[in-house]
Amino acid sequence: MTKSILVLKLGSASITTAKGAIDETIIADITRQVSELAQNHHLILVSSGAVAAGMKYIKNYKGKISERKAAASIGNPLLLGTYAKYFQQYNISIAQSLCERQHFSNRTQFLQLKETYEELWKNGVIPIANENDVVSNLELKFSDNDELATLLGVGFGASLILLGTSVPGVLDREGNVVERIDSINNEIFSLANKKTSEVGLGGMTSKLTFAHLASTMGIKVVIFGVRTPDGILKAVRGETGTVCTPKNCSIPARNKWLASGSLVTGRLMIDGGACEAIRKRKSLLAVGVQSVVTPFANGEIFEIIDDQSSIVAVALAKISSDMISHDSKQHNLEIANASDIVIL
């Protein structure tokens, strides 16, 4: 029986104490529940908490990016050591996976990541991912680990993404948990205020943004409280937290990573004829380009817009945008192959 893939993201505040120490009681409880799930799923854990666990080692910590990077490099091994200690009780080994944006935007690198995770699963090992904070500056950063969890879920074709946090789910204006969301629209976004936990990055807006992306790609997302008794097991069964129902998604699995949007680096404006051609599943040729709005390199993902600036598609570049010119000899130059274009 093939195991379905499940991504479990754990936010900083839910696994650390108010003083920033790793909360071993909660880690013990997480490992107990995860070991149960490991019998029937291929699991990817995405754990925040490296910065929180390491910040006490930085004198006069103010949260500057350089301090966060240093704190993360101290905190991540401590965090992983704690997971390893508690998973050992269930004879489960864990692996560290530090991720950067290019590991997703570059298909070759993503396939390397995939191969590694598959080897780990074959050996009963659970990968624990986190952003590679040590080398992430503001431009290259994932917006937070909610994004990383979603990109992993979309890239691996997960059936479920669990976003574990410090609150019991998405709360409505009366403070009650919204049990089910069929459409993450502006009304739902308006419930999320800018508040985050003291150590969290994105808050509820980020969770809703990425839950929207994942559910559009056909993946169910549950936003739930990690400290709810048996919260993880209940969230898998949809018995706690906020369940965001998946949409019917016709994009083939291979192209979902392309369409996830947050990996886009470039932007190309094309004319009406080219729009028509790509909608008919033809390749994109240089002859239809009106302008390179934002340059991109070979192998990067770019957005295709029409002359009204509406987004028509995203595509994987076969050439660098520098090669696009209006020289008539170049008219048949293929910018993206039909199979690498996702119409939106």
Ligand X SMILES: N[C@@H](CCC(=O)OP(=O)(O)O)C(=O)O
Binding site for ligand X (CB under 6 A): 11-12, 48-52, 72, 130-131, 133, 144-145, 199-202
Applying CB under 6 A, does 203 fall inside the site for ligand ADP?
Answer: yes
The DSSP bridge partners found for residue 4 are: 41
Candidate segments 11-19, 31-39, 100-108, 130-138, binder of ligand ADP by CB under 6 A: 11-19
Nearer to ligand ADP, 202 or 246 (CB): 202
In this chain, which residue has its C-beta nearest to ligand ADP? 11
Tokens 């979902």 -> residue: 256
131 contacts which partner out of ligand ADP, ligand X, none, CB within 5 to 8 A by kind?
Answer: ligand X
Considering only residues 5, 6, 8, 13, which one is a binding residue for ligand ADP as defined by CB under 6 A? Answer: 13
- Which residue do the tokens 């209940």 mark? 234
133: partner contacted, choices ligand X, ligand ADP, none (Cβ within 5-8 A by kind): ligand X
Stretch that binds ligand ADP, among 18-26, 80-88, 192-200, 255-263 (CB under 6 A): 192-200
* Partner in contact with 50, chosen from ligand ADP, ligand X, none, beta carbon below 5 to 8 Å by kind: ligand X
Q: Give the shortest CB-260-to-ligand X separation in angstroms.
A: 17
Q: Which stretch binds ligand ADP (CB under 6 A): 25-33, 179-187, 197-205, 333-341?
A: 197-205
User: 57 and 51 in contact (C-beta within 8 Å)?
Assistant: no
Residue (of 9, 48, 79) closest to 225 by Cα position: 9
Q: Judged by CB under 6 A, does residue 231 bind ligand ADP?
A: no
Q: Specify the residue, 45 or 304, whose C-beta has the smaller distance to ligand X.
A: 45
Min separation Cβ 8 and ligand X, Å: 12
Which uninterrupted H or E stretch holds 203?
helix 203-216
Query: 3-class DSSP state for residue 97?
Result: strand
Check binding of 263 to ligand ADP (CB under 6 A).
no
Report angle CA 74, 77, 83 to the nearest 5 degrees: 140
- Whether the CB-CB separation of 61 and 67 falls below 8 Å is answered with yes
Supply the minimum distance, in Å, between the C-beta of residue 236 and ligand ADP. Answer: 18
**CB contact set of 206 (below 8 Å; sequence gap of 6+):** 143, 144, 146, 147
Per-residue burial over 222-249, b = 16 or more CB atoms within 10 Å of its CB, e = otherwise: bbbbbbbeebbbbbbebebbbbbebeee
192 binds, among ligand ADP, ligand X, none (CB under 5 to 8 A by kind): ligand ADP
Exactly one of 105, 136, 150, 196 binds ligand ADP (CB under 6 A); that residue is 196
CA 316/CA 309 separation, integer angstroms = 19
Question: Rounded to whole angstroms, how far apart are CA atoms 313 and 30?
Answer: 40
Structure tokens of 49?
Answer: 């908490």
Tokens of 40: 């029937």
For ligand ADP, the binding residue among 114, 195, 254, 279 (CB under 6 A) is 195
Q: Which of 76, 106, 130, 165 binds ligand ADP (CB under 6 A)?
A: 165
- For ligand ADP, which is the closer residue by CB, 11 or 155? 11
Give the contacts of 247 (CB within 8 A, at least 6 positions apart): 215, 216, 217, 218
Q: How far is CA 4 from the centre of its chain?
A: 18
Residues that bind ligand ADP (CB under 6 A): 11-14, 48, 165-167, 170-171, 191-193, 195-197, 200-204
